[in-house]
Amino acid sequence: MLSRVAEAIYWMARYVERAENLARFVDVTLNMTLDQPIGIQQQWEPLVLATGDEKYFHKNYKHASAETVMQFLVFDREYPNSILSSLRFARENARSVRESISSEMWEQLNAFYHRVKDAEPTFATMDSPSDFLCSVKEGSHLFNGIADATMSHDLGWHFANLGRVIERADKTSRLLDVKYFTLLPTVSDVGTPTDDLQWADVLRSVSGFQSYRRRYHGITVERIIGFLILDRTFPRAINYCVREADVSLHAISGTLMGTYRNSAERLFGQLRAELDYRQVENIREIGLHEYIDSLQVRLNEASAAIHDTFFAIRPVEEPWTGQFQSQR
């Protein structure tokens, strides 16, 4: 497979997953504002901080409110990480590799993009923002289901899976970070009913509330950290996503599991082993924010290694001339 095709499929899947996770971010904050006692300031600023693009936001929107953050994260055509922009980039990548994906995938992604593009572009005039955000999540689920059902599970599918699970691991870590540090007004609010409601909303935002409750009776910070970071079976847990990425990487290269032949396999293998043997008590000792921060750094390093290993243009020597040319 050409690296150009592999990269387009990887980013197509990653952008669709990004759009879905942004919808989850906004939807959970909408639900939290309904659960909060009267008089508590609404918590829209943490969503802006989670993007890492607060300079762009404050330059264009001044202050964080439900309307401005919704516009920023959902409909902003100039902001490259909004839902609309993510779907536009996903569609452009899909268009460039239409011969490598099924026609059903292209039709769903094309319709998905136009549905969001043609939606009412302001929060204030929308009848039900939550229903719209649910439709974004459903659009992503439908696209991923069609991809799994209509695409051969060969190299192309593994590159798509790689993009999907790496984006999902990153967004789960950011959601945890936002909740732990910024959503409660004071330290004394930790462990209160408001705290429990917010953690329940975090679980619902990753569609994990029922899975969590089937395993545990009550909501505690320690159990939720273990569930969303270290769990090996929940599809949005960081450890599950890293293990899936490791499997797809080895399927692509043909390297024996447990060994490595490139830096991407080495970094994901190390991260997978660390998560497999990490304990919640260790994370609390390190500090949840500090631990998640280090996880995000390592995920970024591993993502960069994927680019260098599979997509980057590098000079290669032509054996018959001794000259160099650029090759993907």
Neighbour-count burial for 226-237, b at 16+ CB within 10 Å, e otherwise: bbbbbbeebebb
Q: What is the CA radius of gyration of the chain?
A: 21
Helices (H) and strands (E) in the chain, counts: 15, 2
CA 255 to chain centroid: 26
Token pair 């490139």 in the structure block, residue = 262
Given a contact cutoff of 8 angstroms between Cβ atoms, the answer to whether 299 and 169 are in contact is: yes
Model pLDDT for residues 189-205, shown as the tens digit of each residue: 666 677 777 788 888 88
User: What letter represents residue 177's amino acid?
Assistant: D
Q: For residue range 264-288, list pLDDT tens digits in order.
A: 999 999 999 999 999 999 998 998 8
Instruction: Answer whether residue 321 shows pLDDT above 50.
Output: no
Give CA–CA dist 180/197, Å, rounded.
Answer: 13
Residue 316, H or E segment: strand 314-317
For residue range 297-317, list pLDDT tens digits in order: 999 999 999 999 999 866 554
- Average pLDDT (178-189) is 61
- Dihedral angle of Cα 307, 309, 315, 321, to the nearest 10 degrees: -150
Taking each helix axis as running N to C, give the angle between helix 155-182 and helix 288-306, from 0 to 180 degrees, rounded to the nearest 10. 160
pLDDT for 316 equals 52
